[in-house]
């Protein structure tokens, strides 16, 4: 068939055949690669705080952190979950778990078993009963809405065996709020769930803070315009009088009548000048005078 064509036409047919073969080979390679390779899902390495087993440290919150980190790291088998949870322990909790693991390497067969053992060892006895009683008597007091809501959430999460219904949660939360705009707003709206009530209370508290922030902004003092009235007092004369009084230049003694000293100074001046010197107001105080006794004898 190619013999009947010219050399140019034979060259074009051969070139089309080669191009077609290359396209078919490339398509087959792409199909094989897509069918044999699956998309890889990346894992996230989240930080988990160490649980040391101290009182007041919430164990349930730490377990939630561990569960979230396990899901992010895509750990599916129980031995790997147990090993990861044990690596996040510290203090006496780490000593306890490795003390249990040393004689028996298969003591924690599943991750659920490890969590149960930790709760029995480090949670207080009857923790759910205590959490329920504390939540039903919870009061905001001097704490903010955020701290009060976090405490309510923690107590609710501790009740796992027989959880409370949403109506009990929200009415207890609303009743424990401090009297104010947030409590009034919640009783006006009456949310159906605890989380909805917490959201509304925090929004109301934020709005109240913003309103107080704009009210208490300091303003510039307005200049005082003098329209009339008495003039301010001139203190120059008072200053001059005080200066003269301090220097004893125009001070007059009320006893002797002289200027420049007071009563005590007058007595000292009289003593210095002599007993026979008479000063106004002091008529020869120390001068001896002649008198007569009862029997007629003179004396000095």
Per residue in 47-91, pLDDT tens? 888 888 887 677 888 888 899 999 988 888 888 999 999 998 988
Residue 99 lies in a domain: yes
- Residues forming beta bridges with residue 298, ordered by sequence position: 292
DSSP 124: P
Domain co-membership, 147 together with 192: yes
Is 288 domain-assigned?
no
Token pair in block for residue 267:
């007595």
Domain boundary among 188, 215, 242: 215
Four-CA torsion 176, 178, 180, 186, nearest 10 degrees: -20
Asked if 110 and 87 sit in the same domain, the reply is: yes
- Boundary residue ending a domain (122, 145, 166): 122
- For residue 77, the 8-state DSSP code is S
Contact (Cβ atoms closer than 8 angstroms) between residue 270 and residue 279: yes
Asked whether residue 159 is assigned to any structural domain, the reply reads: yes
Pairing state of beta strands 291-292 and 298-299?
Answer: antiparallel
Does 131 lie in the same domain as 70? no
Of all residues in the chain, what percent carry a pLDDT higher than 90? 22
141 within domain boundaries: yes
Regarding whether 135 and 112 lie in a shared domain, the answer is: no
What is the Cα 242 distance to its own chain's centre?
Answer: 56
Same domain, residue pair 137 and 210: yes
Give the Cα separation of 169 and 162 in Å (integer): 13
Same domain? For 137 and 194 the reply is yes
Range of the domain at 78: 59-122
CA 128 to CA 74: how far, in whole Å? Answer: 31
- 143 falls within a domain: yes
∠ CA 240-245-248, rounded to 5°:
125
Residue 179 lies in a domain: yes
Answer yes or no: are the C-beta atoms of 253 and 259 closer than 8 Å. yes
Confidence class of residue 201 from pLDDT cuts 50, 70 and 90? very high
Whether 1 maps to a domain, the answer reads no
Which of residues 77, 99, 122 is at a domain's end? 122
User: CA 115, CA 97: separation in Å to the nearest integer?
Assistant: 11
Q: Which of 123, 127, 137 is nearest to 160 (CA)?
A: 127
Instruction: Report if residue 81 sits inside a domain.
Output: yes
Clarify whether residues 112 and 137 are in a common domain: no
d(CA 117, CA 63): 12
Tokens at 274, concatenated: 């002599």
- Total of domains in the chain: 2
Of the spans 4-8, 116-120, 200-204, 206-210, which averages the highest pLDDT?
Answer: 200-204
**Distances from the Cα of 134 to the Cαs of 44, 189, 266, in angstroms?**
37, 26, 85
Is the domain of 165 the same as that of 115? no
Residues 183 and 114 in one domain: no
Which pLDDT band holds residue 285 (cuts at 50, 70, 90)?
A: very low
Pair 95, 147 in one domain: no
Q: Packing angle between helix 78-87 and helix 91-101, nearest 10 degrees?
A: 140
pLDDT tens across 226-283, in order? 666 666 665 655 555 555 555 655 667 767 777 766 665 555 555 555 555 555 554 4
Query: Between these two residues, 1 and 157, which has the higher pLDDT value?
Result: 157
């Amino acid at each position: 068939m190619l013999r009947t064509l010219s050399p140019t036409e034979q060259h074009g047919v051969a070139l089309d055949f080669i191009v077609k073969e290359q396209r078919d080979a490339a398509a087959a390679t792409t199909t094989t690669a897509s069918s044999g390779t699956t998309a890889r899902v990346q894992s996230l390495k989240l930080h988990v705080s160490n649980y040391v087993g101290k009182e007041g440290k919430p164990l349930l919150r730490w377990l939630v952190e561990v569960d979230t980190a396990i899901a992010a790291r895509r750990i599916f088998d129980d031995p790997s979950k147990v090993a990861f949870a044990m690596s996040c322990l510290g203090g006496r909790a780490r000593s306890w778990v490795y003390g249990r693991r040393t004689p028996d390497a298969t003591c924690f067969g599943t991750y659920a078993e490890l969590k149960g053992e930790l709760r029995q060892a480090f949670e207080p006895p009857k923790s759910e009963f205590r959490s329920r009683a504390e939540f039903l008597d919870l009061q905001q007091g001097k704490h903010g809405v955020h701290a009060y809501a976090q405490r309510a959430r923690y107590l609710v999460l501790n009740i796992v065996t027989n959880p409370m219904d949403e109506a009990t949660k929200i009415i207890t939360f609303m009743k424990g709020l401090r009297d104010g705009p947030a409590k009034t707003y919640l009783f006006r709206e009456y949310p159906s769930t605890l989380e909805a009530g917490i959201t509304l209370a925090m929004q109301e508290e934020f709005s109240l803070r913003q309103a107080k922030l704009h009210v208490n902004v300091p303003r510039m003092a307005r200049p005082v315009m003098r329209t009339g009235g008495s003039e301010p007092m001139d203190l120059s004369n008072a200053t001059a009088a005080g200066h003269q009084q301090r220097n004893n230049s125009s001070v007059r003694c009320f006893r002797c009548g002289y200027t420049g000293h007071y009563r005590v100074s007058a007595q000292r001046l009289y003593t210095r000048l002599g007993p026979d010197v008479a000063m106004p107001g002091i008529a020869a105080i120390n001068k001896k005078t002649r008198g007569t006794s009862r029997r007629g004898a003179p004396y000095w």
